[in-house]
Amino acid sequence: MEWFAPDVVWPVLGAMAAGAAVGLEREFRGQPAGLRTHIIVSLASCFLMLTAMRTAGQAHAIDPGRMAQGILTGVGFVCGGVIFRTNTSVHGLTTAASLWFCSVLGMLFGVGLYTFAIEATVLVLIVLSVLRMLDERVPQEALAQLVVRFSRESAPTGPEFKAELRGLGIKSSTFIHRLLDRGALMEFATNVRAPHPRDIERLLDVLRNDARVLEFELSPHKT
């Protein structure tokens, strides 16, 4: 059968292997799109490009260029499903990018550019695994969303609380002030920035041991 010819089998196996390699890395990291999703995206892209390439010159020919554009656009909608936001943090961007890249790998295998496809697979695995270790060691500022609630009688003023944060080496953005529980509680909400994540941990200890603080929420995030 034509679909079991070597020039069909090898691209399909290559696309499966590439998708599995990237998917295993994402699966290991506990990401929402893992092994099966990456394989399916890579395989679908490969089969669609194989179909376009093998209909060339026929009456019902499919333009490979338009097929590639359609694949990348369609996969973009799938990628949007793995991106989600928690407060001010955005998660899933790397996984979405890896899914999109798997569609590119599938297309490379589908059009027979095996060398490019293998090189691209190796490079994306380096970016996802090796460079991740480097990213964890690069100095970076720590960002967090802070919400603190005091009783109205013991609450500091906005400038006083901002000065307290500054004394801990933490910068804050514009404060949002709220009176809650029929005026019994005073709430301060702001985004804070510190030179190192350990400064955010120090802020956590200070808030936990401050007798004036009735409630607080501290949500670290990365830009």
How does DSSP classify residue 128? Answer: I
* pLDDT at residue 134 greater than cutoff 80: no
pLDDT of residue 88: 57
Answer with the residue of higher pLDDT: 137 or 69.
Answer: 69
pLDDT digits (tens, 9 = 90+) for 95-124: 889 999 999 999 999 999 999 999 999 999
CA distances from 103 to 57, 114, 144, 154, 197 (A): 25, 14, 35, 58, 36
Q: In which band, very low, low, confident or very high, does the pLDDT at 60 lie, cut at 50, 70 and 90?
A: confident
User: Per-domain residue ranges for the chain?
Assistant: 2-137, 142-221
* pLDDT at residue 158 greater than cutoff 50: yes
Q: Which fold has domain 142-221?
A: Alpha-Beta Plaits (3.30.70)
Full-prediction pTM beyond 0.85? no
* pLDDT at residue 30 greater than cutoff 80: no
pLDDT digits (tens, 9 = 90+) for 167-197: 888 999 889 999 998 888 999 999 998 888 7
* Structural element, H or E, at residue 64: helix 64-80
Percent of the chain scored above 90 by pLDDT?
40
CB 19 within 8 A of CB 43: yes
For 57, phi then psi, to 5°, come to 85, -5
Mean pLDDT of the chain: 85
* pLDDT at residue 1 greater than cutoff 50: no
Q: In which band, very low, low, confident or very high, does the pLDDT at 223 lie, cut at 50, 70 and 90?
A: very low
Percent of the chain scored above 70 by pLDDT?
91
